[in-house]
Amino acid sequence: MKNLAQIILAIGVISMVGSFGCSKAVKYERYSSKDIEINMAMDYISGWLFSESRGAENSYAQVIFYEPQRKDKNIKAGIVVTVRDSSKLNLDPLSVDSFVDDLLSRRGKLKDMKLLSRSKSTVLGSEAVSVLLSYKTIDMLNNINAKLVPVKEKVVVFKNNNKFYTIRYQNMEKEFNVFNKAFSHILKTAELRTVNK
């Protein structure tokens, strides 16, 4: 009877570790854009790297947050904020729904793309549309041994004044939940900065 109790206890501990994991709580650092077109501040995952860039002819401004290189993983998790001026977009009407429809049309060209959910929410006081997608993409660029792997992507789009903001989180499907809560936290901490003129 004592052995049975120990076995049941051991199974319970294994189940709890499997369900909740042994990982440490995610820590954050604060990001504040240098590029006035991005014009945002938000938390990001401590230890991650980030890089700001501009598209050709200033078609967009962007900051990419990404986990450091891991030997066991070719695709790194990433969170990307992209800002586009509505005057540089070919959308009719210039609405968040039209922007998301265009994004889904482009993602539809990816292997096995599926729209898992689409919902409305509010981000920074503006109406937003959130979509969750899955698709397959290559795990290594410019490599003859590259193979298709399943990826999940969550995209949140909102419009503020004349700019469309896209905040998205992408990771390998099997690891998507690792930073999904962190992505929600990052969205809640995002704020538009005031630019002194």
Per-residue pLDDT of the chain (197 residues; tens, 9 = 90+): 444 444 343 444 333 333 334 445 899 999 999 999 999 999 999 999 999 999 998 899 999 999 987 776 677 899 999 999 998 898 888 899 999 999 999 999 999 999 999 999 999 999 999 999 999 998 777 777 778 999 999 999 999 989 999 999 999 999 999 999 999 999 999 999 765 44
Q: How far apart are alpha carbons 94 and 105 in whole angstroms? A: 16
Do residues 145 and 119 lie in contact, with contact meaning Cβ atoms separated by under 8 Å? no
The sign one gets for the Cα dihedral 6, 8, 11, 12 is negative
Q: Is 81 exposed, middle or buried (0-12, 13-18, 19+ CB in 10 A)?
A: buried
Long-range contacts of 79-82 (CB under 8 A, 24+ apart): 79/44, 79/45, 79/167, 79/168, 79/169, 79/170, 79/179, 79/183, 79/186, 80/166, 80/167, 80/168, 80/170, 81/38, 81/40, 81/42, 81/165, 81/166, 81/167, 82/165, 82/166, 82/168
Domains present along the chain, CATH in parentheses: 24-192 (3.40.1000.10)
pTM, entire model: 0.82
DSSP 47: T
DSSP 67: P
Residue 127: both structure tokens together: 């109406």
